[in-house]
Amino acid sequence: MENTAEKNVITVSTTIQAPVEKVWKFWTEPRHITQWNNASPDWHTPRAENDLREGGKFMSRMEAKDGSMGFDFTGTYTTVKEHERIEYTMEDGRKVQIVFAPNGNETRVTESFDADNSHPAEMQQAGWQAILDNFKNYVEAS
């Protein structure tokens, strides 16, 4: 049983040309989250809340810019190790792990998450990678 669950984990990653302190700050502060947290240009995150501590909750309001759709992306933190690792559980019980690996003036961010069985894995991987790529571009341009 353990093995089956393991196969449903999707991983995305990128290397950002910035020190881990800046990467961490831009990943966790709501004023930055609203600037990068979207998978395509026709979506945005008009507001975000983040209580970054174990047991703390976060919420990102994700909406289509034309107002046709929207949802709250929420979860509860289970692990927070500054500049190293964040783990949380989404509202539906799926788990997410983000690892920050500094290497001098660059930082590798690797995000692993339990797949949502109601959507194709390739689509989920592409969507999460697109958000991570937006994050990279935002950090490097700021």
pLDDT attached to residue 5: 41
**Burial call 89-100: b when 16+ CB within 10 Å, e when fewer:** eeeeebebbbbb
In angstroms, the CA 38 to CA 36 distance is 6
pLDDT attached to residue 2: 41
DSSP codes of every residue in 52-112:
-STT-EEEEEEEETTSS-EEEEEEEEEEEETTTEEEEEETTS-EEEEEEEEETTEEEEEEE
What's the pTM?
A: 0.92
- Ordered domains of the chain (ranges, CATH): 2-141 (3.30.530.20)
Q: Per-10-residue mean pLDDT for the chain, 142 residues long?
A: 58 98 98 96 97 98 97 97 98 97 97 94 95 98 96
pLDDT attached to residue 4: 43
